[in-house]
Amino acid sequence: MIEASGIRIQLKELDSTHATEKGACRDALLRKLHIGARELASLEIRHRSIDARRRSDIHIAFTLRFTLKGGPEAEQKLLTSLARHHGDTNFRFVEERPYTWPSQLSRSALQRRGRPIVVGAGCAGIFCTLALAEAGLRPLLIERGDDATRRTNTVTAFDAGGPLDPESNIQFGLGGAGTFSDGKLNTGTKSPAHRLILSTFVKAGAPADILWDAKPHVGSDILPTVVTRLIQRIEELDGEVRFRCRMTDLILEGQEEERHVVGIVATSRTDSGEAVQESMPASAVILACGHSARDVFCLLRDKGICMQRKTFAMGVRIEHLQSDIDRALYGAYAGHPALGAAPYKLVAHLPKSLPIVGGRSAFTFCMCPGGYVVAAASEPGGVVTNGMSLAARNGTNANSGLLANVYPDDLPGEDVLEGIDLQRSCEHVAFSAGNGTYAAPAQLVGDFLDNVPSTRAGNVKPTYPRGVVWGSIDSCLPDYIVETLRAALPLMDRRLHGFASPDAVLTGVETRSSSPVRVVRGHDMQSISCRGIWPTGEGAGYAGGIMSAAADGIRIAETVVSLYKRC
């Protein structure tokens, strides 16, 4: 098989003469190779990205993989000819080495150690459980929130003005926080498991283009079906999944270096609302509880499980008209169907000479083209924002998190959970600023830069579903966050014209972009404080998005399987 990179397709080539991008790629490849269509045996798009660095020459760049009907001999001859006569280095032989699930274990291995328990059904928990199930370990996955259908209904009811359910909301429930944040699958991390993760999503109903798109996403309207099918696959493999089931205690034995987990206590609720506690034996407990499971972090602290403060970020959601973002990035090509809604990613590093914020940075996060700001609270009396897009990304507005880091040294005291206390206090202030109704405080960018309260919307209408209360966001966040965002906006506007548009909307607060703690694990991937506890994913401090969390969950599963093999 040959891989061809740097295949450029101009947008005009996609306007009328080709029904698909694959057809345009095939024709471009044949021209580059100087061969006929009959010589081509197979063709696969492996990577697709939009190159918009020059607005006068926007094109789509592809990496393709293909085979020739003449087999490896013909392919070698073609590569030699390309190198000798054309000096072309964009072609190379590749050999597929697919990453696979852990191999099946014997029944005796399961009998000796018992089934593992996974706590949390976000992306790390689902993929960890799936990998364990593929190995025959019959894992138990518990999730404090609801399945996808009930969770969607609960979120919809809250958006419409209903009460907040602290156990099932944007943060908690099947799929974790990622289910309602667009399902963006691009990542800056590298893992051999990435292709397996994407393929698994596609088999569960995600669009096939996530396999090759440089910025793949599923869409919050498709993700509930996808994660439901992943759970069904776990159950087909003799895994068990329990919803509305929350870990409320860890059962530990031994002292110091000999301390190990022997089980958990889980609390479920009957249909009548009665709480039922159950002790569940386990020698392997995988903590995939997510960054908002604050009760779990308190439990770990009280049990003496080693945790560390880590850097996290807070800020607001910023909204623009998507059409303005499209024009700023694509110019005259804005609206072309091959481009879709334009995404952006910005960062601004501030000079060290600035008072209060010298040396800090602001950045955009979880950018949602054609998306919506969502109500992401998980505790009564707090307002939290996040963003999402549907698969079509055809909403009127674009939004992203506009954030600045909170460093461990910014926090007072010695408590490892001071970051959680800071998050919670900001959420409570935002709740009060929204008149105590889960409305969110909002301010226009122009007014924010002028340091005056806003009184109404401009041409960008906020999409936060519980409504907004116009005013100032300054009181909702620490001064160093507010002033970092204020200093960064004009710098970001230089890179993306219109980003600091006076009518752009800031909606507060975004406090849950990442975990403020790390549950420390050793080289064997277990907690350094207690054998048999395996922290994983974003909440434990080892991932920063769906793909990295899923890959970390698989990695943990592999180490658990290896342990079962040895014992």
Sheet of 260-269, strand order: 245-253, 260-269, 275-281
Last residue of a domain, one of 40, 61, 93: 93
Written as six digits, the tokens of 23 are: 């057809």
Is the backbone of residue 154 left (phi > 0), alpha (psi -120 to 50) or beta?
alpha
Residues 303 and 339 in one domain: no
- Provide the CATH number for the domain around residue 73: 3.30.70.2700
Residues 297 and 318 in one domain: no
Written as six digits, the tokens of 456 are: 């109404």
Residues 295 and 316 in one domain: no
Domain containing residue 49:
2-93
Residue 100 counted as domain residue: no
Domain count, the chain: 3
Residue 59 counted as domain residue: yes
Helix (H), strand (E) counts: the chain: 13, 23
* 3-state secondary structure labels for all residues of 29-73: HHHHHCCCHHHEEEEEEEEEEEECCCHHHCEEEEEEEEEECCHHH
Last residue of a domain, one of 472, 490, 510: 510
Judge contact between 307 and 519, C-beta under 8 A: yes
* 0.85 surpassed by pTM: yes
CA distances from 342 to 187, 207, 460, 534 (A): 18, 19, 17, 39
Residues 393 and 523 in one domain: no
Amino acid residing at 409: D
CA distances from 531 to 133, 246, 502 (A): 22, 21, 54
Query: Tokens 């386990």 label which residue?
Result: 282
The helix (H) or strand (E) run that includes residue 276 is strand 275-281
Residues 141 and 274 in one domain: yes
Q: Which residues does residue 362 pair with via DSSP β-bridges, in sequence order?
A: 348, 404
Written as six digits, the tokens of 96 are: 């597929």
Residues 137 and 209 in one domain: yes
E strand intervals along 410-557: 440-444, 468-470, 505-510, 517-519, 533-535
Task: Tell me how far apart the alpha carbons of residues 175 and 228 are, in angstroms, rounded to a whole number.
Answer: 9
DSSP codes joined into one string, 297-350: HHHHHHTT--EEE--EEEEEEEEEEHHHHHHHHHGGGTT-TTT-SPP---EEEP
Residues 244 and 171 in one domain: yes
10-residue mean pLDDT series, the chain (567 residues)? 92 70 91 90 95 91 94 90 75 88 83 90 97 96 96 96 96 92 84 95 96 94 96 97 97 93 93 88 96 97 97 98 97 92 97 87 96 97 97 96 97 97 98 98 98 98 98 97 97 97 98 97 96 97 94 97 87
- For residue 470, the number of C-alpha atoms closer than 13 Å in the C-beta half-sphere is 14
Residue 266 counted as domain residue: yes
Task: Tell me how far apart the alpha carbons of residues 88 and 82 are, in angstroms, rounded to a whole number.
Answer: 6
Residues 523 and 502 in one domain: no
pLDDT value for 458: 97
- Provide the CATH number for the domain around residue 213: 3.50.50.60
Residues 230 and 322 in one domain: no
pLDDT value for 19: 60
Residues 151 and 203 in one domain: yes
Written as six digits, the tokens of 440 are: 């969110």
Residue 67: phi and psi, rounded to 5, are -125, 160
Whole-number CA gyration radius for the chain:
25
Q: Which residues does residue 300 pair with via DSSP β-bridges, in sequence order?
A: none
Residues 229 and 263 in one domain: yes
Written as six digits, the tokens of 552 are: 């970390």
Residue 101 counted as domain residue: no
Residue 99 counted as domain residue: no
pLDDT value for 16: 57
* C-alpha of 302 from chain center: 29
Angle, helices 194-203/546-566, rounded to nearest 10 degrees = 100
Written as six digits, the tokens of 364 are: 């955009």
Written as six digits, the tokens of 499 are: 């980003």
Last residue of a domain, one of 464, 492, 510: 510
Task: Tell me how far apart the alpha carbons of residues 462 and 466 are, in angstroms, rounded to a whole number.
Answer: 10
At 474 the three-state DSSP class reads: helix
Q: What angle do CA 214, 215, 219 make, to 5 degrees?
A: 140
Residue 335 counted as domain residue: yes
Q: Which residues does residue 266 pair with via DSSP β-bridges, in sequence order?
A: 247, 278
Task: Tell me how far apart the alpha carbons of residues 393 and 339 are, in angstroms, rounded to a whole number.
Answer: 12
Residues 371 and 440 in one domain: yes
At 526 the three-state DSSP class reads: coil
Judge contact between 372 and 389, C-beta under 8 A: yes
Residue 122 counted as domain residue: yes
Residue 532 counted as domain residue: yes
